Amino acid sequence: MKNSAINATDIPVRVKPSVYPEPFASRMTGREKCPLGDFFGLNNFGVNLTRLTPGAISALRHAHTKQDEFVYILQGCPTLHTNDGATRLEPGMCAGFPAGAGNAANLSNDTDSDVLYLEIGDRMAGDSANYPDDDLQAVQVAGEWLFTHKDGTPYE
C-alpha cells in the first residue's frame, strides 16, 4: 500500500547516515533522515523528514548548480547559515535555495532540543555541489555523488 498516507515519523530512518567521505561523514553524527518521498516511490524529487539532535548539522554548507532546495521547519530552532551569515529559525519558517545562485547553506542545531524539518530537493541530472568552508567538491555521475578534494584528487 505505497499510496496510503502514513505518519511521517513511522517511515524508517535512512540506513546510510551520510554519503560524504571521511572526515566529513563523522560530522553528520546526530542527523537522521527519513526519506518520505522515496517511501512513496517518488522519483523526480526527494522529501526527507530530518532530525538534528543538539549539536548536529544538516550538511556541510553547500550550494548546488542544478538542484533547487527548500526547507520547512517543523520543530525546534535551528540556525541557518548562508553566504549572508547566520539566522535563527523557528517552526513555520522556510527557506529556498535556487540552483546556480551560489548561496551556500546549511542548518545547525545550537540548542538543547531536537530540530525537525522537511527538506526537499529535485534530482536534475548533471548536478554538482560546492562547499566554500571545506576542502571538498562533488559532482553527480550516473546518480551517484563523486567527492574529491578541491584540487580534484580523490578521497580514500
State which residue, 122 or 134, has the beta carbon closest to a second copy.
Answer: 122
- Rounded to a whole number of angstroms, the minimum distance from the CB of residue 75 to a second copy is 10
Q: List Cβ neighbours of 137 (8 Å cut-off, separation of 6 or more).
A: 128, 129, 130, 131, 147, 148, 149, 150
- HSE-up (13 A, CA, CB side) for residue 17: 16
- Rounded to a whole number of angstroms, the minimum distance from the CB of residue 125 to a second copy is 11
Q: What secondary structure letter does DSSP report for 57?
A: B
**Cβ distance 69 to 117 under 8 Å?**
no
- Rounded to a whole number of angstroms, the minimum distance from the CB of residue 70 to a second copy is 5
Residues that bind a second copy (CB under 8 A): 1-9, 36-37, 39-45, 47, 67-68, 70, 72, 80, 82, 84, 87, 89-90, 92-99, 101, 103, 105, 118, 120, 122, 124
State which residue, 24 or 119, has the beta carbon closest to a second copy.
Answer: 119
Q: What secondary structure letter does DSSP report for 41?
A: T
